A and B are shown apart, each in its own frame.
Chain A
Amino acid sequence: MIVQTIAFYVFSAILVASGVMVISARNPVHSVLFLILAFFQAAGLAVLMGAEFLAMILVIVYVGAVAVLFLFVVMMLDINFKELRSGFLQYLPFGALIGLILLVELAVVLGAWVTAPAAPQAAGAPMPPLDQATNTEALGQLLYTHYVYLFQASGIVLLIAMIGAIVLTLRSREGVRKQNVGAQLARRREEVVVIRKVPTGGGV
């Protein structure tokens, strides 16, 4: 038990520290690397709580895919750090306001969850006990059986977001030459090679 407690405090301490470093690191690439470290610590905490499926998905999706693209973009940015610093005070009130609103919203959600009479029921009811099903199965039951319509609805929201992103960035350019592999493979010798006998001094 003592080992788990120590592990918990180590993970949470590094999580909080790297979270602070994400916003205070001077170099944006370091910020992203600290963000990845934070994801890892969160995954470690999830494993400690017995939610191993969530932990692995967190690493695969956020660290393995999202953060790679993040790093990809941030590395290619040509940022002037002095300019970036100069706007700090100007944007501070606006940023603080957004942060405050998010904090209040989180507090409201958490408060409602604690005080609502139906909440313990909703939290406990559809979940099979852990000794009967692994947490992958439990999660699958919850998502695909009990909340299947909500799951489908969120899928549609994501699909619309994807279509929106494509529509926003798609532009057809003139004069772009693309490789058509099918057409290349379908070429026959007769279509592209002509053998002629050229008479001397006559030209083709």
Chain B
Amino acid sequence: MADFWSGFLLPLIIIVLQILAIVVPLLVGVAYLTYAERKVMGAMQLRQGPMLVGPFGLLQPMADGLKLLAKEHILPSGANRVVFYVAPMLTFFLALVAWAVIPFAEGVVLANINVGILYLFAISSLGVYGIIMAGWASNSRYAFLGGLRSAAQMVSYEVSIGLVIITVLLCVGSLNISDIVRAQTTVWFAVPLLPMFVIFFISALAETNRAPFDLPEGESELVAGFMVEYGSFPYALFFLGEYANMILMSAMTSILFLGGWLPPLNMVPFTWIPGPIWFALKIVFCLFVFIWVRATMPRFRYDQLMRLGWKVFLPFSLLWVVLTAGVLVTFGWLPK
């Protein structure tokens, strides 16, 4: 019995506590990301944003959440019941499990696995299922079109994300995420691989279905696309999953290109601030750019979106993979 306690039950409890320590701040972050989005967009459009619920409108996300919970829940007629409910759960689940491999500081990570970056890539490429299943199960034309658009879009942009990740991995020599951050001690990869950084960020916008690539939702033509039939809590799950995905993609950007938990310069005033705070600051910066882009850019037309993915990003990132590999081999900089 003692063996069972120390060998199985105790580690299980510790892991559950660690998971809670990641998920709870993440969900609070998601709630306040919606607030930040409305405030920032308000400021950019000379409006106030939410300001009535609580001081500075700070309780607005809670009010929105409560409103969604209290709403009536509707299952469309002819909808596929199981798939209809599994889709939002899957979206939310995938947005959370990816955080298992994200390191918040040196050694502070839930699962330090050898193929961490592949795990992240795999999880982010699964996100499309929640959307495509929701689109199909709703038994509605709008939702179906949204789902199909999203499937095509995500598959296209994953290809260039994969090539960008390969370029970074060439400079690191390991698939472990902590190793990727450690390799940026001297210089962040955003400096030598600047074009890849830009491509990765734009592809991240497309991967999370954000403006200017929010065609699956396209409220002006598809009245909200794949989630048009959802309401109440399933809709809240989609919403939370989508915003958690944005935070995840920002975390990936900061890990791959902005040095994760590392300070910008390895000097005294910067090293006083602990790693997790640097990491959070970088994530917040990326999220700000996400919102900034949404407030600035018009939506892409569908064929132009496909053209950008396949005819511009794919050849360009392929060229950069070859170029980076060539430079690394020629100068003998390949990591051991």
Q: Which of A's residues lie within 8 Å of B, judged by CB?
A: 3, 27, 29-30, 33, 36, 52-53, 56-57, 59-60, 63-65, 68-69, 71-72, 75-76, 134-136, 179, 181
Say yes or no: A65 contacts B83, CB within 8 Å. no
Smallest CB–CB gap between A13 and chain B, Å? Answer: 20
Closest to A75 in B: B136
New contact pairs (6) apart from A64-B126, A68-B128, CB-CB < 8 Å: A63-B122, A68-B151, A68-B154, A71-B151, A72-B132, A76-B148
- Taken together as a complex, chains A and B put the C-alpha atoms of A27 and B81 apart, in Å, by 13
The interface residues of chain A, by DSSP majority, are classed as helix
Which residues on A sit within 8 Å (CB–CB) of B151? Answer: 68, 71-72
Which residues on A sit within 8 Å (CB–CB) of B125? Answer: 59-60, 63-65
Question: Which of A60, A69, A71, A181 touches B122 (beta carbons < 8 Å)?
Answer: A60
Contacts A/B (CB < 8 Å), 29 sampled: A27-B80, A29-B136, A33-B133, A36-B129, A53-B114, A53-B118, A56-B115, A56-B121, A59-B122, A59-B125, A60-B118, A60-B121, A60-B122, A63-B126, A64-B128, A64-B158, A65-B125, A68-B128, A68-B154, A68-B155, A69-B155, A71-B129, A75-B144, A75-B147, A76-B148, A135-B114, A136-B114, A136-B175, A181-B307
Closest to B307 in A: A181
Supposing A29-B136, A56-B119, A181-B307 touch, asked if A65 and B158 sit within 8 A by C-beta, the answer is: yes
Say yes or no: B115 contacts A136, CB within 8 Å. yes
- Taken together as a complex, chains A and B put the C-alpha atoms of A26 and B118 apart, in Å, by 34
Say yes or no: A64 contacts B8, CB within 8 Å. no
- Taken together as a complex, chains A and B put the C-alpha atoms of A35 and B277 apart, in Å, by 42
Say yes or no: A59 contacts B126, CB within 8 Å. yes
Which residues on B sit within 8 Å (CB–CB) of A29? Answer: 83, 136
- Taken together as a complex, chains A and B put the C-alpha atoms of A53 and B114 apart, in Å, by 9
Render B291-330 as a binary contact track against A, CB cut-off 8 A, 1 for contact.
Answer: 0000000000001100100000000000000000000000
Say yes or no: B118 contacts A64, CB within 8 Å. no
Which residues on A sit within 8 Å (CB–CB) of B175? Answer: 53, 136
- Chain B, interface size: which category? 20 to 34
Which residues on B sit within 8 Å (CB–CB) of A71? Answer: 129, 132, 151
Smallest CB–CB gap between A144 and chain B, Å? Answer: 13
Task: Please report which residues of chain B, range 113-141, place their CB below 8 angstroms from some CB of chain A when the two chains form the complex.
Answer: 113-115, 118-119, 121-122, 125-126, 128-129, 132-133, 136
Which residues on B sit within 8 Å (CB–CB) of A63? Answer: 122, 125-126
Total contacts A-B at CB 8 Å? 67
Smallest CB–CB gap between B62 and chain A, Å? Answer: 35
Smallest CB–CB gap between A28 and chain B, Å? Answer: 11
Say yes or no: B83 contacts A134, CB within 8 Å. no
Say yes or no: B148 contacts A72, CB within 8 Å. yes
- Taken together as a complex, chains A and B put the C-alpha atoms of A66 and B133 apart, in Å, by 16
Say yes or no: B115 contacts A68, CB within 8 Å. no
Say yes or no: A33 contacts B128, CB within 8 Å. no
- Taken together as a complex, chains A and B put the C-alpha atoms of A68 and B113 apart, in Å, by 26
Smallest CB–CB gap between A37 and chain B, Å? Answer: 11
- Taken together as a complex, chains A and B put the C-alpha atoms of A168 and B201 apart, in Å, by 36
- Taken together as a complex, chains A and B put the C-alpha atoms of A69 and B8 apart, in Å, by 41
Which residues on B sit within 8 Å (CB–CB) of A75? Answer: 132, 136, 144, 147-148
Say yes or no: A134 contacts B114, CB within 8 Å. yes
Say yes or no: A3 contacts B115, CB within 8 Å. no
- Taken together as a complex, chains A and B put the C-alpha atoms of A59 and B136 apart, in Å, by 22
Question: Which of B8, B129, B136 touches A3 (beta carbons < 8 Å)?
Answer: B8
Which residues on A sit within 8 Å (CB–CB) of B8? Answer: 3
- Taken together as a complex, chains A and B put the C-alpha atoms of A159 and B320 apart, in Å, by 22
- Taken together as a complex, chains A and B put the C-alpha atoms of A168 and B164 apart, in Å, by 31
Say yes or no: A53 contacts B115, CB within 8 Å. yes
- Taken together as a complex, chains A and B put the C-alpha atoms of A135 and B147 apart, in Å, by 37
Smallest CB–CB gap between B206 and chain A, Å? Answer: 15
Closest to A40 in B: B126
Smallest CB–CB gap between B222 and chain A, Å? Answer: 16
- Taken together as a complex, chains A and B put the C-alpha atoms of A33 and B121 apart, in Å, by 20
- Taken together as a complex, chains A and B put the C-alpha atoms of A142 and B291 apart, in Å, by 46
- Taken together as a complex, chains A and B put the C-alpha atoms of A71 and B137 apart, in Å, by 13
- Taken together as a complex, chains A and B put the C-alpha atoms of A33 and B133 apart, in Å, by 9
Smallest CB–CB gap between B35 and chain A, Å? Answer: 32
Closest to A63 in B: B126
Closest to A179 in B: B303
Smallest CB–CB gap between B169 and chain A, Å? Answer: 10
Say yes or no: B118 contacts A65, CB within 8 Å. no
Say yes or no: B132 contacts A56, CB within 8 Å. no
Which residues on B sit within 8 Å (CB–CB) of A181? Answer: 307
Smallest CB–CB gap between A134 and chain B, Å? Answer: 5
Which residues on B sit within 8 Å (CB–CB) of A36? Answer: 129
Which residues on A sit within 8 Å (CB–CB) of B128? Answer: 64, 68
